[in-house]
Amino acid sequence: MVKASKGYRRRTRSVMQKRARDRGLSPITRMFQKFAVGDKVNVNIDPSMHKGQPHVRFHGKTGTVVRMQGSAYLLDIRMGDMMKQIIVRPEHLRKAQ
């Protein structure tokens, strides 16, 4: 038997997959989104952009922008009783309603 992969993107076949009509690169305007400190944002991983991707466990979670770090954002996300901080580029974020 071959040893199972333990990579960063393991078991993400369906989560990290775009629908057939959405394949290819995303609009460039997603890279230039701006968020202010304190904004609520949803983490929605874009599989066509590998840079600045958070771990798949954060896909679909909502967090608060703490600060900007380079061209990415530092987010506070509540996972159960803990607060996690992740660094995510704006391509993988959407403004929460």
Please check whether residue 7 lies inside any domain of the structure. Answer: no
pLDDT value, residue 15: 82
Query: Is 18 part of any domain?
Result: no
Residue 8 domain-assigned? no
Which structural domain, as residue segments, surrounds residue 64? 33-95
**Among 10, 92, 18, 16, CA closest to 52:** 92
> What's the burial of 10, exposed, middle or buried (CB within 10 Å: 0-12/13-18/19+)?
exposed
The model's pTM: 0.88
What are the pLDDT tens digits along the chain (97 aa)? 899 989 888 888 888 899 999 999 999 999 999 999 999 999 999 999 999 999 999 999 999 999 999 999 999 999 999 999 999 999 999 999 8
Q: Contact, 38 vs 65, CB < 8 A?
A: yes
Q: What is the pLDDT of residue 9?
A: 85
User: Is residue 70 a part of any domain in this protein?
Assistant: yes
Report the 10 Å Cβ neighbour count for 3. 5
Rg (CA), the chain: 14
Q: Does the residue 14 lie in any domain?
A: no
Q: What pLDDT does 16 receive?
A: 86
Is the residue at 6 inside a domain? no
Q: Give the integer Cα–Cα distance in Å for 55 and 58.
A: 6
Contacts of 64 (CB under 8 A, 6+ apart): 38, 39, 40, 41, 75, 76
- CATH number, domain with residue 69: 2.30.30.70
pLDDT of residue 34: 97
Number of domains in the chain: 1
